[in-house]
Chain A
């Protein structure tokens, strides 16, 4: 399915989540990197050395969830835009999803957007609660979306829209 459509199925992405105990302890990273390709910027991006690839740069990154604190620095560094950060402890009934974003317009904090899933289909509306776009992200913004808890591992994007992408 993934190889034919580009859409990861539940079996693919569920295997990338940390265990349920870790998920309750605060933000965690989700690497939706399913293919052995020659790439390793995520390994150097992590200030806590939580990402391991090793000698062979084709190896799929391995995350040490004891070290990862969900800081999201790696999100903008992944050339494949395949890294997300999820926080299931964000607010009562709500979680936060951090997604990479390279389209215009850049959402602003406080905006309400339509959140979409891995297949681009609408999931729910979401409030933009954070926008990071500092220089060393090199034009890959990272957007924090507040979404109902049940959608926290379903939402992976924002519906293209606005004046430019209408």
Chain B
């Protein structure tokens, strides 16, 4: 049994920020991550981040993990990579697996679950053909391993992920035939969309993919226009010559471990699906468990980092850190989240969180 004051599950932006903050407040942390290195999705984010200085605005995502995993905290933060939490039990024991056969148990006084989100899929004929990718996989191949996914891509989804990955494909020298988006407007930041437009990539709102075609792999895709009721306009079908269909149609929080722990959930579409009920400091009703980042509601990485700091400080306060110091961090984080979510693009998140504050309904 490994004993620790604070266990952080997941070493993405939220988990790293949580560990960094708790350690700065004098708490010993064990951070486990299933990846080969910490960073989560940051290791694929080659673009410069938005936000302000405290959110690492203007810094490329790939350069942020080392800022969150500081040498000065290395005595307090123990990191286990290639380590997957495989089970959580009623008595608070968490079991984990490093590599293929090193299975062990962890008992923590407090835990922060920062398990992130997983990609949604889309139903259409041919979606099982090789060449149909999730946007995360395309980013992993290109930005982590230097492998291009194919010769010409159809992107499905014009949220931030769809348009950013399209831009990264262009940077890797892979043409993007078009971005199709079922909604009438672009969901991602318009500045990202404008970069694609300048590169000559058409963004086709009110369009969807009907089918991926090919014998052994994707050879083309059929797209079509949608009407006001999201129905296909007959006669607008068009076959696009691509060997990759990349899906960027949204994310769902990864809440499986929290379910095992009996955390109360609520279905909030604005936050990506079922999310754990928690207070404003991200503490769940299962007292020793906190959440942070996409698992608490799908949002930008900048918000995930602030949530990590918030949960890290709140948990640290309960573990005996200096109350005043912790409170200072907590109030700064709450103000920072308000700033990030304060504008029109934060509307969806704000209304999602407002629903959560209504309490549990359909767990």
Contact among B173, B190, B205 for A166, CB-based, below 8 A: B173
Q: Are the CB atoms of B343 and A120 closer together than 8 Å?
A: no
Number of interface residues of B (CB under 8 A): 45
A77 within 8 A of B: yes
A-B complex: 4 closest residue pairs judged by Cβ atoms: A58-B343, A80-B191, A120-B200, A6-B193
Bound-state Cα–Cα, A78 to B58, Å: 7
| Cβ–Cβ < 8 Å partners of B191 in chain A | 32-33, 35, 37, 78-82
Q: Is B199 a contact of A157 with CB atoms below 8 Å?
A: yes
CB of B267 within 8 A of chain A? Answer: no
Q: Does A8 reach chain B (CB closer than 8 Å)? A: yes
Cα(A3)–Cα(B194), bound, Å: 10
Q: Taking the complex as formed, is A134 at the interface, i.e. its CB lies under 8 A from any CB of chain B?
A: no
Q: Is the CB of B200 within 8 A of A3?
A: no
Whether B50 pairs with A80 at a CB distance below 8 angstroms is: yes
Please judge, given known A-B contacts A79-B49, A140-B48, A160-B170, whether A5 and B197 are in contact too, CB under 8 Å.
Answer: yes
Q: B89 interface residue, CB < 8 Å from A?
A: no
- Asked if A37 and B173 sit within 8 Å, CB to CB, the answer is no
Contact assessment for B345 and A102 in the assembled complex, using a CB-CB cutoff below 8 Å: no
- What's the interface size class on A, roughly? 35 or more
> Which of chain B's residues have a CB closer than 8 A to the CB of A159?
200
Q: Residue-by-residue, is B326-363 near A (CB-CB < 8 Å gives 1, otherwise 0)?
A: 00000000000001111111100000000000000000
Which of the segments B74-82, B135-143, B181-189, B224-232 contacts the partner chain? B181-189
**Separation of A105 and B340 alpha carbons in the complex (Å):** 35
Segment of A16-24, A39-47, A145-153 engaged in the interface with chain B = A39-47
Which B residues are CB-close (under 8 A) to A118?
194, 197-198
* Bound Cα distance from A33 to B50, whole angstroms: 13
User: A3-B186, A6-B203, A35-B190 given as contacts; is B197 within 8 A of A41 (CB)?
Assistant: no
B123 sits at the interface (CB 8 A)? no
A36 within 8 Å of B (CB atoms): yes
Extra contacts, 14 of them, besides A4-B186, A41-B58 (Cβ < 8 A), are: A6-B163, A35-B344, A37-B189, A38-B50, A39-B50, A40-B52, A58-B346, A79-B58, A80-B194, A80-B195, A82-B194, A138-B60, A157-B199, A164-B173
- Distance in Å: Cβ of A55 to nearest Cβ of chain B: 8
Contacts of A40 in B (CB 8 A): 51-52, 57
Chain B residues with CB below 8 A from A41, complex form: 52-53, 57-58
On whether the beta carbons of A4 and B184 are closer than 8 Å, the reply is yes
A1-14 interface code vs B (CB 8 A; 1 in, 0 out): 01111111000000
